[in-house]
Amino acid sequence: MSKLTSEIENRRTFAIISHPDAGKTTITEKVLLFGKQIQEAGVVKGRKGKHATSDWMEMEKERGISVTTSVMQFPYGGKVVNLLDTPGHEDFSEDTYRTLTAVDSALMVIDGAKGVEARTIKLMEVCRLRDTPIVTFMNKMDRDIRDPIELLDEVEDVLKIKCAPVSWPIGMGKQFKGVYHLLEDKTYLYKSGLGHTIQEERVIEGLDNPELDQAIGSLAADLRDELELVLGASHEFDLQEFLDGQLTPVFFGTALGNFGVDHMLDGLVEWAPSPLPRETDNRDVPATEDKFTGFVFKIQANMDPQHRDRIAFVRICSGKYQKGMKMRHVRLGRDIAVNNALTFLAGDREHLEEAYAGDIIGLHNHGTIQIGDTFTEGEELKFRGIPNFAPELFRRVRLRDPMKNKALLKGLVQLSEEGATQVFRPQNSNDLILGAVGVLQFDVVAARLKNEYKVECIYDQVSVATARWVTCDNEKMFEEFKRKNADNIALDGGDNWSYLAPTMVNLNLAMERWPDVTFLETREH
Ligand code: GDP
């Protein structure tokens, strides 16, 4: 096998999907601890409790940590793991969704006391767009959680994915004793209070081992009974079904107690796919092709307040990046020499010499790079599957100085190309309406408009509940649709027709009335 192929097949690129407070930050710390990137877990700071502010510099400072942890690369189990951050609290945004288009697998973290929560459902829908394989971690076993069987049922019912328990919890809360690993036929015993370390766990071989009864008393008999029930009612792990996104292996543990996280990681590096082929407008590109290709899934504004640069995050889809190489920016038909791409070893920004398919590199961007852009070694390709997502929050933008309308529109269109927000221009008014999926996006846009475009704006509430992009093969009918619904029709930043619905009921009615019009929740760049 060539070095290129072995490097690429060794890559595992994933992201964490979870509802706020389920334990994503904690699990990231432990994962990095296992990746030996940090001596003692506790370095990855959460971003909660930080208030959204319209002061850009303050925001930079507050969000600094989330920038450096945007991508974390570390070795684990002989593999090179890339963990992509998915902003989750106030900094939840369309980037969170788009990051999921740049991974090959995802880890779903569920709070065992709460079960499947709203944000998880939404993020799972995004994973479904590409049938991304999902590994599940049921967290907080050291608390009084819900019945584990019930939790699996809920995942199956609500998320429509089969569950294959790989480990099974013994007790919960103060009585949490550890997990039984179904595939290894071993029991791992839990000791509390060691969450900041990698523990020497006591392991008992075999379910019928009397040592188990000595160690956990009557819970051993309960475990045996329960497992019989579980095996009857749940699915066996099946690699192909996992890779097809139809089945999720489930691990139980506590991120805080750093227990079970390694079992989950072991499963992830063993089963999760190495970089997958990616679809373009004319062919599929296998990851192990010699020539470099990649696409932009995120643009992070201004990491260094001294320089107004932005970093474009590129997922390498094939081949490798080498310092000084020439890349073609396909949309602009322009070749550039790249000497200073960035990599993100946990916690640190670093200049790197080379990177392989599956890795993420950061390119300095002075406003020419857009979300969805493709870079190649010369081939005319465009990667697909890096969409815009229908916004869920809307604001009307008003200028403090009405003379600056042109600057405002220019700024908004550019910011929408970077994925900071989406902009809609209703056909029946002179309004400008911004759409976002996270509320902080509005503050970021206001701050950047002020800093970079010298326009100050105010937001008003607007009665838009949701938006859909609309298309129709029948041109005449489309014209009629637009005329009859003129109050709801708008153009987005890229001049695509969209339908702004004041309520979900209104949207459903419109969809019923116009069966030949397609209402889309995502739009390709
Ligand atoms: P995030 O919002 O998903 O990043 O969640 P955090 O990792 O910040 O966790 C939210 C809260 O749950 C914090 O107070 C954590 O200390 C706590 N937490 C995380 N994992 C566990 C766990 O396994 N057991 C317990 N008892 N608490 C946990």
The rounded Å distance from CA 102 to ligand 1 centre is: 26
**Ligand 1 pocket test, candidate residues 110, 139, 252, 256, most atoms within 8 A of CB:** 256
Residue 41 scores a pLDDT above 80: no
Q: Does the Cβ of 139 fall within 6 Å of ligand 1?
A: yes
What does the pLDDT read at residue 54?
A: 33
What are the tokens at 116? 């499947």
What does the pLDDT read at residue 200?
A: 83
Distance CA 386, CA 100 (A): 9
50 annotated ligand-binding residue? no
Atom 6 in ligand 1: residue holding the nearest Cα: 23
144 annotated ligand-binding residue? no
Residue 426 scores a pLDDT above 90: yes
Q: Is residue 186 a contact partner of residue 179, using CB atoms and an 8 Å limit?
A: no
Residue 280 scores a pLDDT above 70: yes
DSSP 84-123: E----STT--HHHHHHTTS-SEEEEEEETTT-S-HHHHHH
Residue showing tokens 């474009």: 312
Counting Cβ atoms within 10 Å, is residue 491 exposed (0-12), middle (13-18) or buried (19+)? middle
Q: Does the Cβ of 371 fall within 6 Å of ligand 1?
A: no
The rounded Å distance from CA 88 to ligand 1 centre is: 13
Average pLDDT over residues 15-22: 96
What does the pLDDT read at residue 403?
A: 84
Q: Does the Cβ of 24 fall within 6 Å of ligand 1?
A: yes
Q: Does the Cβ of 46 fall within 6 Å of ligand 1?
A: yes
Give bridge partners of residue 362 from the DSSP assignment.
Answer: 313, 342
Average pLDDT over residues 44-55: 40
The rounded Å distance from CA 193 to ligand 1 centre is: 15
Global pTM value: 0.92
Average pLDDT over residues 410-420: 89
140 annotated ligand-binding residue? yes
502 annotated ligand-binding residue? no
Q: Is residue 444 a contact partner of residue 420, using CB atoms and an 8 Å limit?
A: yes
Closest ligand 1 atom, CA of 143?
Answer: 26
Q: What is the ipTM of this complex?
A: 0.99
Average pLDDT over residues 195-205: 88
Per-residue pLDDT tens digits for 222-248: 999 999 999 888 999 999 999 999 999
Per-residue exposure over 135-146, b if at least 16 CB sit within 10 Å of its own CB, e if not: bbbbbbbbeebe
What does the pLDDT read at residue 311?
A: 86
What does the pLDDT read at residue 193?
A: 84
Per-residue pLDDT tens digits for 289-312: 999 999 999 998 764 455 567 889
The rounded Å distance from CA 86 to ligand 1 centre is: 16
Q: Is 355 helix (H, G, I), strand (E, B) or coil?
A: strand
19 annotated ligand-binding residue? yes
Average pLDDT over residues 33-51: 56
405 annotated ligand-binding residue? no
Lowest mean pLDDT among 199-208, 345-354, 384-393: 345-354
DSSP 416-458: HHTTS-EEEEETTSS--EEEESSTHHHHHHHHHHHHHH---EE
Q: Does the Cβ of 142 fall within 6 Å of ligand 1?
A: yes
Per-residue pLDDT tens digits for 160-177: 999 999 999 999 999 999
Q: Does the Cβ of 66 fall within 6 Å of ligand 1?
A: no
Average pLDDT over residues 182-186: 97
